[in-house]
Structure 1
């Protein structure tokens, strides 16, 4: 197949995203959360103390959608919102022990999905792929 007839890289990335989303849904649904809620929890695991607006940007949803996600996760006891001591108008969001436990319960299944998806890549190729994907995301953000 020639390059001009090969599927676009953007199309291939979207196919991978949809396949991963389906597999993640099967893993997180029994825990009572959605893939989008799982994404928000993993972002908070890496960046505790974010505002709702920051979390929305990192989780790739609108601020309005994040309001519902934060409400649901808070109602489920998976996150806690506290007033920022430096800026009393700002609320920060962090995982609760239940949120940490839920992520731990999902970790081996998520690790398996990732291992299956990228089994054909060496460790250094996985690092390189991660770098390329981050570079692509950054380039799109900067050009927007």
Structure 2
């Protein structure tokens, strides 16, 4: 999400990911300690901080995306195109139902 929404705040990130602010704070703190996320102060609001990926965070995201794509290829290798579409539709439906509930 930080890649898609650079400069987002902790609170906005929590809303976007449907996680509690406390959970997001712990995750962001761990990513910051690892050097993957950087914070910078908001120009107007002193308590709000913008979050961005660092260079190492972008490299880590790239590596993770490549791994996920490889795993997806492995998981879908035995499926027909129609079966893969059905699985993806089901996963979207489960995701939407989970966030609506």
Write 1 or 2 for the structure with the bigger share of strand: 2
Q: What is the distance in 1 between the residues matched to 2:15 and 2:34?
A: 22
1:95 Cα shift? Answer: 0.5
Give the number of the structure with larger relative contact order, counting CA–CA contacts within 8 Å between residues 6 or more apart: 2
1:37-76 alignment, distance < 5 Å:
43-59=1-17, 61-76=19-34
Q: What is the distance in 2 between the residues matched to 1:57 and 1:125?
A: 33
Q: What is the distance in 2 between the residues matched to 1:99 and 1:128?
A: 33
Write 1 or 2 for the structure with the bigger share of helix: 1
1:127 Cα shift? Answer: 5.1
Query: Is this contact kept in 1: 2:2–2:8, CA < 8 A?
Result: yes
CA-atom RMSD, angstroms?
A: 2.8
Unaligned stretches of 5+ in structure 2? none
Aligned residue number for residue 65 of structure 2: 107
Unaligned stretches of 5+ in structure 1? 1-42
Q: What is the distance in 2 between the residues matched to 1:131 and 1:50?
A: 29
Q: What is the distance in 2 between the residues matched to 1:124 and 1:52?
A: 39
Aligned residue-pair number? 100
Q: What is the distance in 2 between the residues matched to 1:83 and 1:123?
A: 47
